[in-house]
């Protein structure tokens, strides 16, 4: 088991379709293979368990704060957390940073047009058709991180290249 002071929360933030979940899966697998205690928290999955979670600014902030608190509790007990959430607002991400001891913010960057082209779930198409309201990047803002610990540009880097950047950075914790 990992020592509590060596655990960390790796928080991947970015637009829908930027590559957060793909990278989180890759990093989770890497850490798991090392035999370390790790949990993956994903926005799409957790929303299924928190059915009252909406998409207004207040509801998004509350959701991220709940998840951030959960991540901090896992970290406190020696579990490495790999979290992938759009988490569009700086204040909510700042809250998570403040409640975690070792918080690493990863900005998974891809331009909006690239994310729309990758739209595997059809969300951008539905949002542009008016079927989804408060969609981040379209009719609701995404506040880019001001000083992320890591930036990966997934429109310019392969999944392997982006994952390597993250793995190199977290190496000091492993």
Query: Quick check: helix, strand or coil at residue 36?
Result: coil
Q: Catalytic: 87?
A: yes
Contacts of 11 (CB under 8 A, 6+ apart): 71, 83, 85, 87, 93, 96, 97, 103, 104, 105, 106
Which is the catalytic residue, given 37, 87, 158, 162? 87
pLDDT at position 1 = 44
Sheet strands side by side (includes 150-153): 38-42, 80-84, 9-13, 103-109, 150-153
pLDDT at position 63 = 86
Domain spans of the chain, in order of start: 4-173
Per-residue pLDDT of the chain (174 residues; tens, 9 = 90+): 445 468 999 999 999 999 999 999 999 999 999 999 999 998 777 666 666 677 788 888 888 999 999 999 999 999 999 999 999 999 999 999 999 999 999 999 999 999 999 998 899 999 999 998 889 999 999 999 999 999 999 999 999 999 999 999 999 888
Q: What is the pTM of this model?
A: 0.92
pLDDT at position 19 = 96
Domain 4-173 class, CATH top level: alpha beta
């Amino acid at each position: 088991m990992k020592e509590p002071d060596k655990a960390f929360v790796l928080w991947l933030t970015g637009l829908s379709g930027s590559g957060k979940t793909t990278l989180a899966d890759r990093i989770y697998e890497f850490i798991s293979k090392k035999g370390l205690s790790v949990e993956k928290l994903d926005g799409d999955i957790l929303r299924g368990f928190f059915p009252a979670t909406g998409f207004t600014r207040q509801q998004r902030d509350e959701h991220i704060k709940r998840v951030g608190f959960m991540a901090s509790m896992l970290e406190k007990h020696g579990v490495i957390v790999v979290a992938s959430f759009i988490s569009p607002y700086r204040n909510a991400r700042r809250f998570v940073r403040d409640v975690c001891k070792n918080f690493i913010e990863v900005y998974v960057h891809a331009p909006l047009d690239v994310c729309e082209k990758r739209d595997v779930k059809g969300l951008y198409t539905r949002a542009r058709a008016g079927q989804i309201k408060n969609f981040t990047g379209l009719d609701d803002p995404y506040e880019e991180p001001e000083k992320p610990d890591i930036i990966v540009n997934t429109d310019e880097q392969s999944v392997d290249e982006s994952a390597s950047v993250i793995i190199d950075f977290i190496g000091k914790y492993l």
